[in-house]
Structure 1
């Protein structure tokens, strides 16, 4: 067994253009940084249009990729992919099957989609860098029920789809507003505007008692203030955590991945429910937690010796030019992290390389095909912002020039 083990993690990768021709010096710096990883991990934020075909299942925010985009990721050094995300079902079950086939044929460690629910929940497992690595990948929505994998029953065939962490999003409102909503709901129902048909393709979301109501697909909960509430289904979470526990008990290095779009109003803020679930994954035996969804760099925490990356933003982000909502600079800035473990299996340090998709120069920014190593003031801004947000979670980041480092944390062994 090697004396050291390294896992390199990046922001999410949504790519539609083959970038293997790009030879920009600072892109090559990023690729050199990735080479140190025994595991090089990203979320493949797309679905493959391949042998099974497929058709669009949504409107504006629809994406798919050609199979050679996986070759591009492999050429960059990636060998581990999370596949659970909001674009994984954009071509329907056919896209899921095509993606599985193309990823399998290239030998990626992968997890997050499957031919049915049982298959989608299975971790990917592979020997990498003299370690047995198990990858768990989940999506917490919000998404239509029919994008998630489902097992066969007596009345229904199996559905290929995404591995789901079941959540319910509720909106908290004050007592006065709740009464008004309840009165309006009653008036609408009296006018024969029934609820059931307005929930399709999903089933109506159940409500708990008189303090909640389902207003045509949105659950409102009476409370002291206006707020958004995301509740994780405890039984479903227990299933996922039990699977993590089993992988850890056999000595695997366990990566837990979560994708979600339940963003806070301030996109760089970490939702409390995500922190709670991330810590539960570590308590179950995960050695590393990574999350994407919000297209910005959030914070990181070291919990019981395990890194928790609450949001690594974007690494490759090939979105249509007409989607102007992604114009903020922070959407195009992130870090790449190399987590180093000693021979004893304890986290030793984390090296951080700040990146800017397209670079700082305006001519390059119009193309924005690949991430470039950030330099100068931009690099310091990325690292200092990351350090400030992470300090709230007790993590100190040392900044030296255009790089950062998190030093040895409380010991946590694997294997």
Structure 2
């Protein structure tokens, strides 16, 4: 490949023009191409051979697609032979090796890996998870031996066309991001990051109070400070109309993602991007302030779909230039029966591993809500959906949304397994999604307890 073709030549304007003439950002799939997308796959055990009413109906939907996508938010390995150790977080999510084969049996063939649990068990856990997914023929993206590998698109060959997937995370532990070699220093294995700079927006009266506190503290040296910005205790406050959180993505990380989207789309017929992020927090049903413009930018660069996950609950859906944007698809599997658990997690929740078992700790966190944001005691964390996107003449023609519930009221050992939501609950899930999607101009019809988005001419432009 010459320099001009691979984007490293000296005439970038000419390159962009030549790409446009061959439709580099166009969708190019067969009529009837379908993409199934779900959210977080947080499961510690195989499910297809278990006693789970309604689960077979779920699997039937998953299998009936060209691409079936989910976010693997766990490490998969055999603890009895594992040579690594818990490292990057306090939760240390883990699944047995049989989960790899089980995901394949369910129909998953494309999964993202960049998330805040990717390095729970260090590089060894990341690599072993990759090995098991590879062994089961599941294409995965978002982690690698350096940043170039973690950020690169991975490809799936389907009857409907060649599909690319990029995966990145805006929520991660400090040493989880991958990096490239620099001089004599080698690269670092890890995930593909989107670093966010956060600030808190407050009304002017609150800013005056914060400024007074800052000025009264020892060590403050006035002079040249921004009148609309106060840094207090390492937290940046900015002036605005109302109190809220604000985020700004790292420009270098954004450019890296955009570059990999361009590469992925040029080498494929259909390009998917998957973003794992908790935004302002798991409690928030709205995407953070930067995300809509950011998602649009990725679509403009060539992405055919934007799939968000991370906050453990549903957020709205937008159709932009005929491409679907899912701001969060919530939890799809959420059984949380992982074991063992590292010592730090016991300490974080005031438990003693010499007295309490890992099961005690998990139940307390999940059922009684010991987490700082109230735990996962709200039924909304156990409601989700399967999004089925269908394309005709290289256009998104229809989105069907199948409501799912994860057994919030079941015994703890049986929670977290998806099944079709009963009619009243299905309607409630879809009505909530209608409200969450209103601000994006998305109209969701409800037909026989299934959500339907049909695209009109204006949605295609």
Common fold by TM > 0.5? yes
Which residue is equivalent to 2:324? 307
Which of 190, 193, 197 aligns to 1:168? It is 197
Residues in 2 aligned to 1:247 and 1:261: alpha-carbon distance in whole angstroms: 25
Contact 1:53 1:98 in 2 (8 A): no
| Greater Cα shift, 304-313 or 393-402 | 393-402
Residues in 1 aligned to 2:102 and 2:264: alpha-carbon distance in whole angstroms: 30
Which of 357, 370, 375 aligns to 2:406? It is 357
Which residue is equivalent to 2:133? 103
How do residues 321-400 of structure 1 correspond to structure 2 at under 5 angstroms? 321-323=363-365, 324=369, 325-342=375-392, 344-358=393-407, 362-363=409-410, 367-400=414-447
Q: Aligned pair in 2 of structure 1 residues 226, 185: CA closer, same or farther (>3 Å)?
A: farther
RMSD, matched Cα: 2.6
Residues in 2 aligned to 1:103 and 1:233: alpha-carbon distance in whole angstroms: 30
Q: Check if 1:260 corresponds to 2:277.
A: yes
Q: Which structure has the greater CA radius of gyration?
A: 2
Contact 1:346 1:411 in 2 (8 A): no
The alpha carbon displacement at 1:179 in A equals: 2.0
Residues in 1 aligned to 2:293 and 2:309: alpha-carbon distance in whole angstroms: 16
Q: Aligned pair in 2 of structure 1 residues 33, 365: CA closer, same or farther (>3 Å)?
A: farther
Q: Aligned pair in 2 of structure 1 residues 106, 186: CA closer, same or farther (>3 Å)?
A: farther
Query: TM-score when scaled to structure 2?
Result: 0.78
| Greater Cα shift, 219-228 or 123-132 | 219-228
Contact 2:169 2:191 in 1 (8 A): yes
Q: How many residues align?
A: 391
Residues in 2 aligned to 1:188 and 1:75: alpha-carbon distance in whole angstroms: 61
The alpha carbon displacement at 1:64 in A equals: 2.0
Which residue is equivalent to 1:44? 72
How do residues 19-30 of structure 1 correspond to structure 2 at under 5 angstroms? 19-30=47-58
The alpha carbon displacement at 1:35 in A equals: 1.8
Q: Gaps (5+ residues) in structure 1?
A: 190-207
Q: Aligned pair in 2 of structure 1 residues 53, 278: CA closer, same or farther (>3 Å)?
A: farther
The alpha carbon displacement at 1:46 in A equals: 1.2
Contact 2:145 2:189 in 1 (8 A): yes
Which residue is equivalent to 1:91? 121
Query: Does the residue aligned with 2:218 lie in a helix, a strand or coil?
Result: helix
Query: Does the residue aligned with 1:334 lie in a helix, a strand or coil?
Result: strand
Contact 1:175 1:224 in 2 (8 A): no
Q: Aligned pair in 2 of structure 1 residues 72, 181: CA closer, same or farther (>3 Å)?
A: farther
Which residue is equivalent to 2:151? 121
Q: Aligned pair in 2 of structure 1 residues 117, 181: CA closer, same or farther (>3 Å)?
A: farther
Query: TM-score when scaled to structure 1?
Result: 0.86
Q: Aligned pair in 2 of structure 1 residues 184, 73: CA closer, same or farther (>3 Å)?
A: farther
Which residue is equivalent to 1:156? 185
| Greater Cα shift, 94-103 or 297-306 | 94-103
Query: Does the residue aligned with 2:94 lie in a helix, a strand or coil?
Result: coil
